[in-house]
Amino acid sequence: MTSSAIISHPIKSIADLPVDKTLATALVSSMSEYSDQLHGRRLWLACSGGRDSLALAALCVQLYRQGKLPCLPQLLHVDHGLQSDSQYWAKHVANWAQAQQIPCCILQAQVNGHDEQAARQARYNIMRAHINQDDVLLLAHHADDQAETVLMRLIQGAGVNGLSGMQPWRVQTQGAQRNILWRPWLTIRRANISAYAKRLQLPYIDDPTNDSGDNVRSGLRRDIMPILATYNPNVIDNIARSVQLLSEAQETINAQAMQDMQQTEHTDLQFSSAQRVLNIDALQKLPMYRQRQLLHYWLGQDEPLPPAKQLVDDVLTLSQRDDQDHQTELFWQGRKASYTIRRYRQQLYRMSSEWLSWLKLPLSEQVLPLSSLSLSKNNSADNSFELVTLCSSNDYIWQLRVMGDALLRLLENSAGGIAQQVTLKIVPLNRKQRLKTEMAARPQAGKKLYQTLGIPLWLRESLMVVSITLIKKFENGSDIQTDIPLLLASPFESWLLSSEQTDSDAKSNQLAEYIASELSLK
Between CA 441 and CA 407 the distance in angstroms is 27
154 and 198 Cβ atoms separated by less than 8 Å: no
How many Å apart are CA 5 and CA 473, to the nearest integer?
A: 90
Q: Coil, helix or strand for 295?
A: helix
- 194 vs 419 pLDDT, higher one: 194
CA separation for the pair 385, 381 (Å, rounded): 10
Which helix (H) or strand (E) element contains residue 508?
helix 505-512
The rounded distance, in Å, linking the Cα atoms of 485 and 498 is: 6
**Residue 195 pLDDT class (50, 70, 90 cuts):** very high
User: Strands 104-108 and 136-138, how do they pair?
Assistant: unpaired
pLDDT tens, 231-270?
999 999 999 999 999 999 999 999 999 999 999 999 999 9
Would the pLDDT of 506 be above 70? no
Distance CA 153, CA 242 (A): 14
Give the range among 84-93, 188-197, 201-210 with minimum mean pLDDT. 201-210
**Range 422-450 burial, b when 16+ CB lie within 10 A, else e:** bbbbbeebeeebebbbeeeeebbeeeebb
Please state, in angstroms and rounded to a whole number, the distance separating the CA atoms of residues 47 and 49.
5
Question: Is pLDDT at 420 greater than 80 in this prediction?
Answer: no
Mean per-residue pLDDT for 294-298?
96
Q: What is the pLDDT of residues 2-23, one digit of tens each?
A: 678 888 899 999 999 999 999 9
Mean pLDDT of 54-60: 97
pLDDT of residue 95: 96
Is 17 in contact with 200 (CB distance < 8 Å)?
yes
103 pLDDT above the threshold of 70: yes
pLDDT of residue 355: 96
Query: What is the pLDDT at residue 475?
Result: 64
Q: Is the pLDDT of residue 214 over 80?
A: no
Parallel, antiparallel, or unpaired: how do β-strands 136-138 and 177-182 relate?
parallel
- 431: helix, strand or coil: coil
463: pLDDT strictly greater than 50? yes
Comparing 419 with 21, the larger pLDDT belongs to: 21
Q: Is the dihedral of CA 57, 63, 66, 69 positive or negative?
A: negative
Question: Over pLDDT 70: what percentage of the chain?
Answer: 91
Range of weakest confidence among 137-151, 334-348, 378-392 = 378-392
- 340 versus 422: the higher-pLDDT residue is 340
Task: Calculate the average pLDDT of the chain.
Answer: 88
* Average confidence (pLDDT) over 181-188: 96
User: Mean pLDDT over residues 41-47, rounded?
Assistant: 96
Q: What percent of the chain has pLDDT over 90?
A: 63
Considering only residues 482 and 340, tell me which one the structure prediction assigns the higher pLDDT. Answer: 340
> Looking at the predicted structure, is the pLDDT value of residue 339 above 90?
yes
**Which pLDDT value is given to residue 369?**
84
Predicted model pTM:
0.79
**CA dist., res. 134 & res. 313, Å (int):** 36
pLDDT of the residue at 377: 45
- List strands edge to edge, sheet with 494-498: 366-369, 421-428, 464-473, 479-489, 494-498, 436-437
* Cα 404 from Cα 286, distance rounded (Å): 48
The rounded distance, in Å, linking the Cα atoms of 319 and 13 is 63
Residue 115: pLDDT band by 50, 70, 90 thresholds?
Answer: low
Instruction: Tell me what the mean pLDDT of segment 133-143 comes to.
Output: 96
| Range of 290-299, 320-329, 377-386, 414-423 with top mean pLDDT | 290-299
Residue 86 confidence class, pLDDT cut points 50, 70, 90: confident
Distances (CA, A) of 255 to 163, 246, 252, 263: 18, 14, 5, 13
CB neighbourhood size of 181 (10 A): 18
Per-residue confidence (pLDDT) for residue 113, from 0 to 100: 67
Per-residue pLDDT, 211: 64
Is the distance from CB of 331 to CB of 251 less than 8 angstroms?
Answer: no
Task: Select the highest-mean-pLDDT range: 100-114, 194-208, 276-290, 298-312.
Answer: 276-290
pLDDT in the model for residue 372: 66
pLDDT of residue 281: 96
